[in-house]
Chains A and B, each alone.
Chain A
């Protein structure tokens, strides 16, 4: 008998990765909470997370890029412009963070001349990133709510109901 492997839904994977990225973003945004070393390493790892996020949404990205100057829904156009700004901003945050690194790069034996401009740019771009993340989440709010209901709330309710039924039957 051939056993079929149960395939995990791509929506589920997207949801999980996006949730991890969101939590990592909040943690990385606050070096006073994590400490400088974790802040720096987490932010460098964040680059890989952004690449993964973009790869998972590549179809939408490629299709919208092709149609952006012709026929495309307004919502998609706004989303595309916002996402482009967010990508530029996050690249700036990570790059300027590397330029003023105090822990991560010196540990690898790399020492850069820290500059006021890099520090200012890092501060400005990370403030902008928080604002852009807010807009990014807001524009995908319907998807977040429906996916949370489907993959988090419903399973939790069904588990709870199952336990109650077991207790009643016992």
Chain B
């Protein structure tokens, strides 16, 4: 029973987010913030911003980067298949590294300052 209640609380919190997203998609703000959107969660005819319309070739006449490499189920063929996953893992790794280094530096500086203060007070 305890778990059911907690699950309902989590689902209610999620429903609030969903309702907010739905309200946002219907607002004028969405149309202003997201170029090309009609403001009703739809992409009205003729509203495609430049370069977004999938069937049009780009200005240079080059084919889409992945053209011909996708299988019918949406999977990518060739050596590109794992690239995006490795890239995502790399991004997470870099963020972790930055935060850990920042935390270590912060701790080191704090210890240094405290040690300096304690030495000053003991000398006085």
Q: Does B95 contact A (CB under 8 A)?
A: yes
**CB contact list, A1-55 vs B, under 8 A:** 26-27, 29-37, 39, 47, 51, 54-55
Given A47-B14, A131-B91, A134-B92, 11 new contacts (CB under 8 A): A32-B74, A32-B76, A33-B84, A33-B85, A117-B38, A117-B42, A117-B43, A120-B36, A130-B88, A138-B100, A141-B99
Q: How many A-B residue pairs have CB under 8 A?
A: 119
Q: Does A105 contact B (CB under 8 A)?
A: no
Question: Would you call A34 and B75 a contact (CB within 8 A)?
Answer: yes
Kindly list chain A residues whose C-beta atoms are within 8 Å of the C-beta of B62: none
Q: Does A143 contact B (CB under 8 A)?
A: no
Q: Does A113 contact B (CB under 8 A)?
A: yes
Kindly list chain A residues whose C-beta atoms are within 8 Å of the C-beta of B124: none
Q: How far is the CB of B14 from chain A (nearest CB, A)?
A: 5
Q: Does A72 contact B (CB under 8 A)?
A: no
Using known A-B contacts A27-B85, A138-B99, determine if residue A92 contacts B10 with beta carbons closer than 8 Å. Answer: no
Interface residues of A (CB under 8 A from B): 26-27, 29-37, 39, 47, 51, 54-55, 58, 87-88, 91-92, 95-96, 99, 113, 115-118, 120-121, 130-131, 133-135, 137-139, 141
Question: Would you call B7 and A51 a contact (CB within 8 A)?
Answer: yes
Kindly list chain B residues whose C-beta atoms are within 8 Å of the C-beta of A87: 13-14, 17
Complex alpha-carbon distance, A58 and B96, angstroms? 25
Question: Would you call B75 and A121 a contact (CB within 8 A)?
Answer: no
Question: Would you call B76 and A55 a contact (CB within 8 A)?
Answer: no
Question: Would you call A95 and B21 a contact (CB within 8 A)?
Answer: yes
Kindly list chain B residues whose C-beta atoms are within 8 Å of the C-beta of A31: 74
Q: How far is the CB of B23 from chain A (nearest CB, A)?
A: 12
Complex alpha-carbon distance, A46 and B71, angstroms? 25
Q: How far is the CB of A137 from chain B (nearest CB, A)?
A: 5
Q: Considering the complex, give the chain A residue whose CB is closest to the CB of B97.
A: A138
Q: How far is the CB of B7 from chain A (nearest CB, A)?
A: 6
Q: Considering the complex, give the chain A residue whose CB is closest to the CB of B96.
A: A138
Question: Would you call A35 and B81 a contact (CB within 8 A)?
Answer: no
Q: How far is the CB of B90 from chain A (nearest CB, A)?
A: 10
Kindly list chain B residues whose C-beta atoms are within 8 Å of the C-beta of A116: 34, 36-38, 42-43, 47
Complex alpha-carbon distance, A53 and B3, angstroms? 12
Q: Considering the complex, give the chain A residue whose CB is closest to the CB of B84.
A: A30
